[in-house]
Amino acid sequence: MSDILQPIILPAWIVSLPLVAAGLSVVLPNIGRRAAFVTAAAISVLVAMLGKEVLRQGTVRMQVGGWPPPLGIELVADGLSVVMLAVAAVVIGAATLYATGYLRRDRASRAFWPLWFFLWSALNALFLAGDIFNLYVTLELLGLSAVSLVALSRTNEALPAAMRYLLVSLTGSLSYLMGVALLYAAKGTLNLNLLAAAQPGSPALVTAFALMAAGLIMKSALFPLHFWLPPAHASAPAPVSAALSALVVKASFYILIRLWLAIFEPFVNPTTAQLLGALGVAAIIWGSVQALAAERLKLLVAYSTVAQIGYLFLIFPLTLISDTGQTAWQGGFYFVISHACAKAAIFLAAGNVMHSIGHDRINELTGIVRRLPVSMFAFALAGVSLIGLPPSGGFIAKWLYLNAALTGGQWWWCAFILLGGLLATAYVFRFFSRAFSHAPDIVPGRPVPRMMEWTAFTLALCAILLGLTAPAVIRLLMAGKPI
């Protein structure tokens, strides 16, 4: 037993177990629910073991099949990848428990589990990939499984949303792949570590950076390339919406950061960084305004994701300042973590509303707190993190951003960060003004399973607790010196 759980092969197990569960779910359709519980527990244990090893020795590298780079495939785990694996384990594990109560026992349910496990495996492989081509492969597999999961709801809105998502995903992947081809032609290797050691200075590298960045920004739904995200996230089944918003759109951002750290940092000049920051600010404002105008709860939450993604791209202008760069990195990825837990909780709470009364039209949700008090409390806790109030993880992330901006002399970003918090307060309380209003009669509907309500609450509580565990999380994040 100790041989098969050696630290060096833990990455392979983390990628393979969801694939095994996906295969079993295809061959034995009725085993999906039981495989979900076992897989969620096993992945959580394996990620914890890998995190302990990364804290002990730094970066863990595994050469698949014993073939070293540049010929072989390398899986690499450092603090950043382990934190992302842990977030994926928490969010997908919680959404898996939620899905066991949310899904009906029909054909859509039998198709859900293989696609769900496949998405989880693709995410884990992406966070561990050590070369730019395998990053492309995992990103493509992730997109295809995400599109299929969106279409599973089989509503009139879901199918066109899934098709739009598919076209955008393929376009972004093609742009990224063209950049990969240029890099391989220029440097003769695909391994990130070897590419980092290669000398820059070729026009092909600049073109590769532009193509790869454009594809990843499109997949990250940064304004104005966000048009596909709200309909896809709003029309997907609730556990799928939670995974898409919390993790899938962050995967392309994760790759963009990895490429910047390893290869493209010399090409990111202050003008490019300020432009990305300006697009982030535009996303914060536009997404928040659209959330304020949304008529459906899930659409409000989806536009909130557009706004919150804007915060991530403030990392580019803030990290160019050498004195505050590390603080900005920590703030950016703490935002990734806290937003993942908070937004997943909100989507699951919105799913409980849909499950109970059959719709999510905000104007018709007056007094819903009387029927779903736990879900509304979860929504409130997650909203605290989205707004950035203490003691939440969202507060820690924004505090680190504000500290980096003020210390580095880029005070204007502070104004937009605070403005985003005020706008988030407005759209969160817009829903609460309905949900907590007095209603003469309780909203009719069917009961929601306790597991569905408490799963949303647990994720929201995680978003709050992240504000109290920041030193430990940041210590793990910096293990292996990813930055």
340-380 pLDDT, tens digit each: 999 999 999 999 998 888 888 888 888 888 888 899 999 99
User: In the structure encoding, which two tokens stand for residue 99, read together?
Assistant: 């899905």
* Segment 123-138, tens digit of pLDDT: 999 999 888 888 999 9
Percent of the chain past pLDDT 70, that is, above it, reads: 92
| Average pLDDT of the residues in 371-393 | 91
Give the pLDDT band (50/70/90) at residue 3.
Answer: low
- Reading phi first (left if > 0) and then psi (alpha if -120 to 50, else beta), residue 201 is in left
* Segment 300-330, tens digit of pLDDT: 999 999 999 999 999 988 887 656 678 888 8
Q: Is the pLDDT of residue 467 over 70?
A: yes
Apex CA 397: angle with CA 391 and CA 399, to 5°? 75
Percent of the chain past pLDDT 90, that is, above it, reads: 45
* Segment 233-242, tens digit of pLDDT: 888 889 999 9
Residue 102's pLDDT is 83
| Sequence-ordered list of residues with C-beta below 8 angstroms from that of 121, at least 6 positions apart, any chain | 15, 16, 17, 18, 19, 22
Q: Is the pLDDT of residue 23 over 90?
A: no
- Looking at the chain, the number of H-run helices and the number of E-run strands are 20, 2
Q: Is the pLDDT of residue 1 over 60?
A: no
Q: Is the pLDDT of residue 197 over 60?
A: yes
Q: Name the more confident of 275 and 101.
A: 275
| Average pLDDT of the residues in 249-273 | 84
Give the pLDDT band (50/70/90) at residue 263.
Answer: confident
| Sequence-ordered list of residues with C-beta below 8 angstroms from that of 69, at least 6 positions apart, any chain | 63, 130, 131, 189, 191, 193, 194
